[in-house]
Amino acid sequence: MGCGRHHARDCADVLADLYLFLDNEADDASCAEIRQHLIECGPCLAKYNLDRIVKHLVARSCCDPAPEPLRQRVKLSIRSVQVQITTDR
């Protein structure tokens, strides 16, 4: 995914850190880079918006927070899929 233009931060890197950004877990420098990238890159912005909406719908549908071990396993699975997608390109 990407718009084909050169960015200070590569689209694959931005998408790999998107959930950290959405969960406010990225450091300030990364947040600034991701925000700038999203301003410049329509396809990445669309992916961000889709992920943000899905996250909101899931949060609204869930009453109890997931146990921490489950959260960690899900995050690990997401990251492994992102790495696999990046590697396959």
**What digits encode the pLDDT tens for the residues 17-76?**
999 999 999 999 999 999 999 999 999 999 999 999 988 888 887 777 778 999 899 888
State residue 80's pLDDT score.
Answer: 81
As a whole number of Å, the end-to-end CA separation of the chain is 10
Higher pLDDT, 23 or 87: 23
Q: CA-based angle 80:74:67, to the nearest 5?
A: 155
